[in-house]
Structure 1
Amino acid sequence: MIRVLLVDDHAVVRMGLKMLLNSLEDMEVVSEASEGNEAIENAHETRPDVILMDFSMPHGKDGLSATEELKNQLPDTAILILTMHDDEEYLFRAVQAGASGCVLKSAPHEELIQAIRNVSNGEAYLTPSATKRLMDEYLGAMKEHGTDVYQQLSAREKEVLTLIAKGYANKEIAEQLYISVKTVEAHRSKLMDKLQMKTRPELVSYALKKGLLGSAIQ
């Protein structure tokens, strides 16, 4: 059973989503919230598997701020952003905040349900249109810059990159790969140098473009 926390400032929207998800055999809405601060409090109390988070909430803490805070506090909880904005900027901001993906509010119910199932399994989810735009952007960048630096990464560096992008802390990565935390830090430093990046969000965005979130190491 996938335990879901609904976060949206519109009660009618929450009611409709709750009826939809509770009608499914593998989902249960365990709590609701109308803004970010309430979502954080409810998430700590109920420990949901997935948080369905509205992007824009005018009252209280907004969805992105709440997502970033929750991923630091409850890293194992998947967060799926609901947004009406079909724009790359919102997509990247959501991923940088720690979300496992985005779904448009105008998307069919079947897409939303599949997205919840995907992120509950540790996978990422993007709308088909967003995925195509990211791939087009990435391929364009590869043509502009020539050689794909990703192919120059070692197998271990690719593993570390994928786990970083999925939100794992250095200690958790060390435990999964049976290496020391210092070794993880060394790999991360080399990744930053090779990819010419300085922050974790940059690594996450890069991994997303490479299709590493929710997929096997390439």
Structure 2
Amino acid sequence: MTIKVVVVDDAQMVRVGLRMIVETEPELTVVGEAADGVEAVSVIRRLRPDVALVDIAMPRQDGLATTRAVLAAPGNPTRVIVLTTFDTDENLYQALRSGASGFLLKVSSPEHLITAIRVVAAGEALLDPAVTTRVISAFATRPAPQPPPEIADLTPREEQVLRLVARGLSNAEIAAELSVGEATVKTHVARVLMKLGLRDRVQAVVYAYETGLVRAGST
């Protein structure tokens, strides 16, 4: 099955480079491009790609507002990967809250980008390891709030899995850490998301740090 991609960046050379990387894989194809956020919303709604690669800093409308507009459209099939340098923690925080399913630094390798597109197109979410580190740093100095009451709905193993997700571990890494099968981990993650009313593991990471369930340096 072909994965359709739209590339959104105000720099033409960046768009050309991203197109070249994406189309090195036979099952991936770039079906459209946009040079700013307003154009991007129109292009994405018209072409309905599986994945949109969206830069944060763009004219007319930034990538965060663009992401929110795309995801708010009724029946939207597109999942968004935000590409950024994350120059400020505020950008990071707002990006994580924008609803995107993937977050990659622009210095990520082409291989990592391809993996991210496949993961997000399959309905999963992906955080660049460096992004997870920034999440930890952003919440490290904040006072620890009281964990919300819905945490009590989690089993001890589900809470353990949530903590490992918040540390940036993949399902395979969590499986190795807990000495269980990867399918078991996927089931635990799905139950955590359902019980806490979260869309994906990106929201789970933010939730874990915002609620004080996980603190910098905790295990």
Category of TM-score, reference length = shorter chain: 0.5 to 0.7
Cα deviation, residue 151, structure 1: 3.9
CA shift at 1:63, angstroms?
0.8
The superposition leaves residues 43-85 of structure 1 with CA deviations (integer Å, 9 ceiling, x where unpaired) of: 111100000001001x221111111111100543110001012
Q: Does 2:162 align with 1:161?
A: no
Partner of residue 70, structure 1: 70
Separation in structure 1 between the aligned mates of residue 205 and residue 49 of structure 2, nearest angstrom: 23
- CA–CA separation in structure 1 for the residues paired with 2:119 and 2:29: 16
Determine the C-alpha separation between the residues in 2 that align with 1:37 and 1:145: 38
Work out the CA distance in 2 between the residues paired with 1:139 and 1:88: 12
2:4–2:51 CA contact under 8 A, matched in 1: yes
Shift of 1:105: 0.8
Residue 97 (structure 1) shift: 1.4
Q: 1:150 to 1:134 in 2, by over 3 A?
A: farther
- Give 2:55's aligned residue: 54
Whether the 8 Å CA contact 1:165–1:204 is kept in 2: the answer is: no
Q: Cα distance, 1:160 vs. partner?
A: 4.6
Residue 126 (structure 1) shift: 1.1
Matches within 5 A, 1:1-218: 1-57=2-58, 59-73=59-73, 75-85=76-86, 87-135=88-136, 144=144, 151-153=151-153, 158-162=193-197, 164-166=198-200, 205-206=206-207
Name stretches of at least 5 consecutive residues in structure 2 with no aligned partner.
156-190, 212-219
- Structure 2 match to 1:194: none
TM-score, with length taken from structure 1: 0.67
TM-score (norm 2): 0.67
Distance 1:90 1:101, change over 3 A: farther
SS in 2 for 1:165: coil
Q: Does the C-alpha gap of structure 1 residues 39 and 158 become closer, same or farther in structure 2, counting only changes over 3 Å?
A: closer
In 2: Cα distance, 1:18 partner to 1:130 partner: 23
- Contact map agreement 2:31 2:49 (CA 8 A) in 1: yes
Q: Percent identity?
A: 35
1:154 Cα deviation after fit: 5.3
Number of residue pairs matched? 174
Q: In structure 2, how many angstroms separate the alpha carbons of the residues matched to 1:100 and 1:109?
A: 18
Q: CA RMSD in A?
A: 3.3
- Asked if structure 1 preserves the Cα contact closer than 8 Å seen for 2:7 and 2:32, the reply is yes
Q: Which sections of structure 1, spanning at least 5 residues, go unmatched?
A: 167-201, 211-218
Classify 1:26/1:158 alpha carbon distance in 2 versus 1 (closer, same or farther; 3 Å).
Answer: closer
Equivalent-residue separation in structure 2 for 1:3 and 1:72 (angstroms) = 20
1:5-53 CA distances to partner (integer Å, 9 max, x unpaired)?
0000011111111111112122100000001111111111110000000
**Pair 1:85–1:133, CA change in 2 (3 A):** closer
CA distance in 2, matches of 1:203, 1:68: 18
The answer to whether the 8 A contact 1:91-1:102 is kept is no
The CA distance in 1 between the partners of 2:209 and 2:119, in whole Å, is 15
Residue matched to 1:178: none
* Change in 2 beyond 3 A, CA 1:15/1:208: farther
Letter in 1 for 2:62: D
Q: Secondary structure at the match of 2:31?
A: strand
Give the residue type in structure 2 aligned to 1:26.
E
Q: Map Cα deviations across residues 153-176 of structure 1 (whole Å, 9 max, x no partner).
A: 2577851534x434xxxxxxxxxx
